[in-house]
Structure 1
Amino acid sequence: MAIPNEPLFLMNQVYRKVFPIVHRELAYWKEKAVHIDNEELRKQALDSLHDKTFHCEGGGIMGLLALHGKRDAIEFIVAYQTISDYLDNLCDRSTSLDPEDFACLHRAMEDALTVGAVPGNYYECREDQEPSYLTSLVMRCQDVLSRIPNYPLIKDELLHLSRLYCDLQIHKHVQENEREHRLQQWFNDHRKDFPGMEWYEFSACTGSTLGIFCLVSYSLRPDFKKEHAKMIQEGYFPYIQGLHILLDYFIDQEEDRAEGDLNFCFYYPDHNALFNRLQHFVKQADIHTGKLPHSRFHKLINRGLLGVYLSDEKVHSQVEVKKLAWKMIRSSGPVSFFFYLNGRAYRNVSKMFSGNTIAKKTI
């Protein structure tokens, strides 16, 4: 079984061997979410599964790195990403602005990566309660990790990336007048390790789960070695993860303005500055992935991020964003354009199934 190293082969594997598993797992967690008794928590769980399916689809692609361990990798990826998306909804769209509440909720993400950790009451700082959905997701992640002989070799790197992610979520969801100060103070603790980076760029770099998914997928391979863990962490963090999240914020600018949400793209002085920094992240990501095993696959992921995000329908409703997106696609070469066209086609086919996504056709 070969790791895809060219676009057509990659997409063939994604549609035939990744998405069906992803959608099966999502259907399982949707069935669990439907039975949450608490109305508010049920709404947020179902909304996160419905609105953020593409997060699990994109993350699931990393499972191809696991070769014959692909099914276990995708099972973990879907469960962990579902925790992330659910908690994001609870922090972003729900009933609290309390950093202690956010810290309690996000203990689930660290517990999910710690085999043997006993789940606590992650809702202890809020009125809304449910006994099993979030705990079941945590235990699913632990179950997969417990079956990986190489788990001890990646545990430190997993927890390092997870703790950065959780710190970000706590700081960026508090009262609006506190967010920037908290994030800037947090960055000051890390500034020396990231020269030339602004606080909002560092924050973006911490907000992706791709490095975690890559570590778990590689650890399922029989040829995994201890030194790979550090290589993968440094290959994905900061630049690929940063590009991932900056693109996510890039397409959400109109929505975030309307909702009053923090958006890291708002801090660039103008569109040219944003374009130049995104190009910098692309180039740096290529340099860092060049040091990884199967570097061609990781460069495809890099270009795929550009194509998939910039083909999103949100781009076409924002005039300035659309102009900049086209400029980025044109400057990023034919592989990015291939993924852009693929993303447009996939979304168009999805529309053909009223009330459903194409995901449901493949379960």
Structure 2
Amino acid sequence: MKNGIPRRPATLMYAVYKHIMPRVRTHLERWKREAALIQNKELREQALSSIESKAFHCYGGAVYAFLAGNLLEDAVEFIVAYQTISDYLDNLCDRSTSLDPADFAMLHNSMREALDPDSELSDWYSLRNDSEDHYLKMLVKTCRRIIKKTAPDEAVQKQILRLNELYCALQVHKHVNPDERLERLLSWYEAESSDELQYWQEFAAASGSTLGIFCLISYALSWKGRLPFAKRVADVYFPHIQCLHIMLDYYIDEHEDEQEGDLNFCSFYMNKDELGRRIDSMIQNSLDQTALMPDAQFHAMVIQGLTGLYLSDPKTRRQNPFLKKRWLKMAGPGSYFFYYNSKIYCDLVQKVR
């Protein structure tokens, strides 16, 4: 490790088990206790369910805390709180009876306000019947407290808010009535996308990741808010690394989503060959762009980790084994380490259960 930032896969995994996982677990237990106090039954169930079923998002995202140097604890606390907001709102939009985009947008104001400590807090539940007055507010205030400590300058804040705006817009468009969803996503892509992303589903996928925000916040903590390479980080994460992240996530769920009739970005390619080539391109572009960043080895390991961890999921047994081998090889030797490490860990967890 150099300056506290792991440089090798084995070092990273050891540091994650020792420094990251216990801290994430502690914060998640805290938020689970707070969620259990929500009086509204529907919101309580969705808050607890989001922690139970999506905790791995926090464990994965918290790897960026290594970029925060001596403020690793603050970075973990922020990442867990912000990701918990994201997962909770995803449940509220995905599993509730509401299909109102205005309601979804109002709920997601909480994510923007979590990043902007000087903004006035909205009435996030004002367009739905269910409401609560402490859980979401506590999550938001936790993020705001750490953002104040980070004191990001205007350049950093601009990039963080830009990534958040894209994320929140996607959550609104993809949760509306299925008959309206595709038209809204296409119109949004035409209005917002640059020539860099020629496939609307890849623009949407790149918008759906919080990794760039975690990276920027962690760096800002270490650099005391003055981050001369903030735009470079944001431009590499959006679209390259974030697109790869979410497309791999959709890839492992492709069969399940097809059976349940859920939206899956992988299904919008002409065929599996095109899908394979596009993910080839995402891996290669991510690695090429990462090579030009500070701490390039760490960010390359993130790409290898994403590839290895997602492709180790048992659900990929239904997928083309040739593609799995090709992508692991493209991502680099470290991807095999994360792939086998994840499989062994999951097997151990299953045996304990």
TM-score normalised to structure 2 length = 0.95
Q: Aligned equivalents of 2:347 and 2:27: distance in 1?
A: 23
Which residue, out of 124, 129, 139, partners 1:122?
Answer: 124
Partner deviation per Cα, 1:130-181 (whole Å, 9 max, x = no partner): 1111111111100111112335442111110000100111011111111111
Query: Aligned residue for 1:66?
Result: 68
Displacement of 1:258 in angstroms is 3.0
In 1, distance between residues paired with 2:22 and 2:320?
A: 32
Q: How many pairs does the alignment contain? A: 351
Verify: 1:144 aligned to 2:146, yes or no.
yes
Aligned to 1:339: 338
Asked if structure 2 preserves the Cα contact closer than 8 Å seen for 1:308 and 1:343, the reply is yes
Structure 1: 5+ residue runs without aligned partners?
355-363
Check conservation: 2:205, 2:243, Cα contact below 8 A. yes
- Cross-structure match for 1:46: 48
Please name the residue that 2:352 is paired with. 353
Q: Could you say which residue in structure 1 is the equivalent of 2:106?
A: 104
Per-residue deviation at 1:95? 1.7
Partner residue of 1:22 out of 21, 24, 29: 24
Q: Which amino acid aligns with 2:254?
A: Q
Q: Map of 1:1-363 to 2, 5 A cutoff?
A: 1-191=3-193, 193-195=194-196, 197-222=198-223, 225-316=226-317, 318=318, 320-322=319-321, 324-354=323-353
Identity over the aligned pairs, expressed in percent? 44
SS at structure 2 position matched to 1:5:
coil
TM-score, normalised on structure 1? 0.93
- Cα distance in structure 2, aligned partners of 1:257 and 1:228: 41
The superposition leaves residues 2-54 of structure 1 with CA deviations (integer Å, 9 ceiling, x where unpaired) of 31111111111111111111111111000111111111111111111011111
**Per-residue displacement from partner, 1:242-268 (whole Å, max 9, x unpaired)?**
000001111111222233221100101
Q: Residue 284 of structure 2 contacts residue 331 of structure 2 at CA under 8 Å; is this kept in 1?
A: no
Q: Is the 8 A contact 2:155 2:231 kept in 1?
A: no
Which amino acid counterpart does residue 136 of structure 2 have in structure 1? L
In structure 2, C-alpha distance between the alignment counterparts of 1:115 and 1:133, rounded to whole Å: 17
**2: CA distance between counterparts of 1:179 and 1:273?**
23
Contact 2:159 2:231 in 1 (8 A): yes
Q: Tell me, yes or no, if the aligned pair for 1:251 and 1:321 is still in contact at 8 Å.
A: no
CA root-mean-square deviation: 1.5
> What are the ranges of 5 or more consecutive residues in structure 2 without an aligned counterpart?
none
Q: Which amino acid aligns with 1:221?
A: S
